[in-house]
Structure 1
Amino acid sequence: MPEDPPSRTDSRERPDNADANTPRYTRDELIAELGIESDFAEKAWNAFGFVRRSADDKVATESDVAALRMFAASSGAMPESTQIAMARAIGQTMSRLADWQADQLREIADDPDIPWTLEQMSAALGQVQQLIWRRHMALALERHADHSADEQFDLIVGFADIVGYTSLSRRIDLDDLESLLGSFEDDTFDVVVDHGGRVVKTLGDAVMFTFDDAHAAAAAAIRIHELSENDHLPPLRVGLARGPVLTRLGDVFGEPVNIASRLAGSARPGTTLIDDTTAEEIGADDRFYLKSMPSLRVRGYKHLKARVLEPHRDGPLND
C-alpha cells in the first residue's frame, strides 16, 4: 500500500444526505477509491476469504472507505506480510462465526411466533457484535499498553481435551456431539476465566488457555476435571507448562505450547500433568499434591519430565 493514498473525487453523484452506512462501492470501486495497488488488493481480498473476481455487488460504505483509508495511509509502519496475516486471521474468524450465526438465525426465523425478519435480527446481531468487540478491544489495549503487537511473555500454557473423542464421535449422533462440544467449550471457558486465565482458542475436542499465575492455573486444571462429574462429560485430561512464549495475532507460540500439548496427550483420563517449572512454583501450596512419575518419551522430547497434579486430600480445595 502507498504510504499516503491520494484522495479521489468520484464522478458519481453523492447526495448530501447520503447514508454513510449504505453500501455504495463495489469491490473494484473500493480499490480505486483507496488508490491501492491491484496486486495487494487481490491478496488482501483473498485473505479475507472472498473469491478473487469482480462483481457488481455494492459491498462497502462511506464509513468503510474512511476506516480503510486510515489504515492505507499508515501502511508504511506494517509490512505487507503482516497485513495479509492479519486479514487472513480476521477472515477465518469472521467466516466461521458468520456460518454459525446464519444457521442459528435461520432456525429462529422459522419460528412463526418470532415477530422479526431475518434482516432485522441480522442487523441487531451485528450491533451487539460491535458492542462486544469494542469491550474486548478496550480490555486488550489495557493488557498490552506496555507491549508491542508481537511480544514475548512468560506464561503458563494449558491444554484440556476430551479423552477418546475420536471413537466417541463415531458412536453418537451429530446433535449429541454438538451439545457435548458446546458444554465442554463453554464450561472450560468459564473455569479458565473465573480463575484469571485467558482462553486462546478452541480446537474442537481441546481448549488452549494461558495463565500468568501457576497457582491459579493449577486450581483451574482441577476444576476442569470436575466438569466430567457435573455436566456428564467424558473424562478429560490437562497439561500445563511454563515458559517464554510469543503472542501474535491473538495466538500463542513457543516451546511451552508444544510441551503442554504433549503433557495433555500423555495424561491418563481424569488427570493433569505439569512440567517441572510449574511444579516448583506450586510445590509449597497445600491445596495441591504432586506425584512423581517416570520421564515421558513423546514426539520431539525423549526425556520429558513431568509431575501428576492432584488436589491435596486435606487442602483448601477439598474443605
Structure 2
Amino acid sequence: MEAYLLGQAPSLTRVQVAEKAGVPLDLAVTLWHQLGFPHHTDDDVAFAESDVEALRLSAELVRIGILPPDSQAALVRTWGRSFARLAEWQTTLLAGLAVEAGDPADGLTDLATDVLPRVEALQAYVWRRHLASATQHLLEDAGTLTSSEAQMSVCFVDIVGYTTQSRSLDGAELVAWVDAFEQDTTTLVVDRGGQVIKTIGDEVLFTVADPVAAVEVALALTARGADEDDPFPAVRAGVAHGAVVRRLGDVFGSTVNAASRLTSAARPGSVLVDAGVHEALTADHDGEEDSPWRWRRLRRVSAKGFKNLEAWRVRARQADD
C-alpha cells in the first residue's frame, strides 16, 4: 500500500533525500515539520524518489520567491493541515468501504488502486476551478493586487444550543447533522456570491463583498432555523462591514472581531449588524418606510477589544409591517 501511494517502496533516508535534491537537511526537516509529516531519524528508510522531487520543487519555489521567508511557514502549514484533513477523511471512507466488502486488507488495497487515481484527478480539477474563481475576483478588484486588505462584509452563523443537541445524538447522527448545516449554509453563501472561509464545528464564517447579500443570507438561515418543520438548526448571526485583511484563505482584523462579538451578543434566531452594515443598507432609502428592512438599535455591545460596539438588530420587512 505504501509503495503504491508513494510511487515506489521507501528506499531513502532523509539525509539521502536532502542530498539528492540539493537542499540543506535543516531546510528539508523544517519543511517536513511544517507540512505535519511524521518524524524520522537520519537512519530511517522512509522516503522515496517522489520525496526527492517534491523537496526539489519546494526549494525552487523558495528560490523564485513563491515561498518567501516571511510567509513560508504559514503557507506550508496551511497546505499540511488542509491535506492532512482531506487524507484522513478519504482513508476513513475507503476503510469503511473495505470493511463492507468483507476483507479489509485486500479491500483497502483494491479500492486505493481503483479509486485514488480518480480522486487525485478530481482534486486537481477542483483546485484549478477555485484558482480560476479566485483569480477572477482578484482581477475584478484591482486594489487587491497591491494590498491584502479589502472592504467586505463578514458574517458568523452560530448554531444555538449546539452542546445540548450534540449530547442527544450519537456520533453518526451528529456528523450528519453538522454536515447538513454546513452544506446548506455553503450553498446559500455561494449562490449569493460569497465565500465560506471556515467551519468551526457549530459555526460558519463567510465573507461577501455586498453587505446586502450578507444580511440576506443571515436572515434566510435564521428563518430556516426558526421553522419547526425544517431540520435546519436554530442559529444566530452577526454581520460587520469594513476593512478585512486576507491571508492564506483566512481573514483577520477588527471587522472580523466585530462580527464575532455581535454573534455572541445575538439572541437565538436574530441577526445583529454593526454600523458599517447599517449605513450601507440604509444609504439608498429615505426612511424606514422605504426600506425592505426593519431596524432596532440596541444598547452598545461591550466586548473584549471593543468598548462601545454599535449594534442593530435587522429583520426583513413583512407585508403587514
**TM superposition score normalised by structure 2:** 0.83
Paired AA for residue 234 in structure 2: P
In 2, Cα distance between the equivalents of 1:86 and 1:150? Answer: 18
Indicate how the Cα distance of structure 1 residues 63 and 37 shifts in structure 2: closer, same or farther if over 3 A, else same: closer
**Bigger Cα displacement from structure 2, 188-197 vs 148-157:** 148-157
Encode CA deviations 1:249-294: one digit per residue, 9 max, x unaligned: 1100000111000101111111100001101111237332222221
Moved over 6 A (4+): none
Partner of 2:58: 68
Confirm or deny that 1:238 pairs with 2:237. Answer: yes
Indicate how the Cα distance of structure 1 residues 260 and 282 shifts in structure 2: closer, same or farther if over 3 A, else same: same
Partner of 1:82: 71
**Bigger Cα displacement from structure 2, 130-139 vs 103-112:** 103-112
Q: Give ranges in structure 1 of 5+ residues lacking alignment.
A: 1-20
Query: Over the residues paired in the alignment, what is the CA RMSD in angstroms?
Result: 2.6
Residues 1-319 of structure 1: pairs in structure 2 closer than 5 A: 22-23=7-8, 26=12, 27-54=14-41, 55-61=44-50, 64=54, 67-75=57-65, 78-112=67-101, 117-145=111-139, 146=142, 147-148=144-145, 151-228=148-225, 229=227, 231-283=230-282, 284=285, 286-314=291-319
Indicate how the Cα distance of structure 1 residues 83 and 204 shifts in structure 2: closer, same or farther if over 3 A, else same: same
In 2, Cα distance between the equivalents of 1:160 and 1:149? Answer: 31
Give 1:150 shift.
Answer: 6.0
In 1, Cα distance between the equivalents of 2:245 and 2:171? Answer: 36
Identical aligned pairs, as a percentage?
31
Encode CA deviations 1:140-194: one digit per residue, 9 max, x unaligned: 2232344348611011111001012122222322222111110111111011111
Indicate conservation of the 8 Å contact 2:22/2:56, yes or no: no
In 2, Cα distance between the equivalents of 1:264 and 1:310? Answer: 15
Indicate conservation of the 8 Å contact 2:297/2:311, yes or no: yes
Give 1:68 shift.
Answer: 3.3
**TM superposition score normalised by structure 1:** 0.84
Partner of 2:3: none
In 1, Cα distance between the equivalents of 2:160 and 2:256? Answer: 19
Indicate how the Cα distance of structure 1 residues 268 and 44 shifts in structure 2: closer, same or farther if over 3 A, else same: same
SS of residue in 2 equivalent to 1:138: helix
Give 1:40 shift.
Answer: 2.0
In 1, Cα distance between the equivalents of 2:11 and 2:155? Answer: 45
In 1, Cα distance between the equivalents of 2:213 and 2:87? Answer: 34
In 1, Cα distance between the equivalents of 2:67 and 2:121? Answer: 29
